[in-house]
Amino acid sequence: MTMDKKAASQLNGASLAYVGDAVTEVFVRSYILSRGITDTARYNELALRFVTAHAQSEAYSRIEPLLSDEEREILKRGRNAKTTHRPKNQTQSDYRRATGFEALIGWLYLTNEVKRAEELFRLAYIDVTEGISNKTL
């Protein structure tokens, strides 16, 4: 399902992050399986390199300078979204930045800019994907 940019841009940051969380999970699982990793314990271990609030906060930092003004606005809206969730094992700062990252991925998906979302995913996690490819993770 896609939306025009105006409609997608009217969604709040938490709603965009809700979609972005699912899209990110699909990207992660697809990437891991594309590397030939089929052992469930191993791919669950590797998935944590992508989906924790800390990992997504680092992803946020890595891609922020590469964004258009419009993308940066969505990232910030997600980061500033009002949530009632309190992270248990993550800092509030990491959790908020992770929400911003997910909001951007969700917005790109909803506006049918999946190629851009995939590009940002690759750039955001280049260290992790290189570690997996080089078998150092």
3-state secondary structure the chain: CCCCHHHHHCCCHHHHHHHHHHHHHHHHHHHHHHCCCCCHHHHHHHHHHHHCHHHHHHHHHHHHHHCCHHHHHHHHHHHCCCCCCCCCCCCHHHHHHHHHHHHHHHHHHHCCCHHHHHHHHHHHCHHHHHHHHCCCC
* Catalytic-labelled residue, pool 21, 39, 94, 127: 21
Active site residue 21: yes
Q: Among all residues, which ones are annotated catalytic?
A: 21
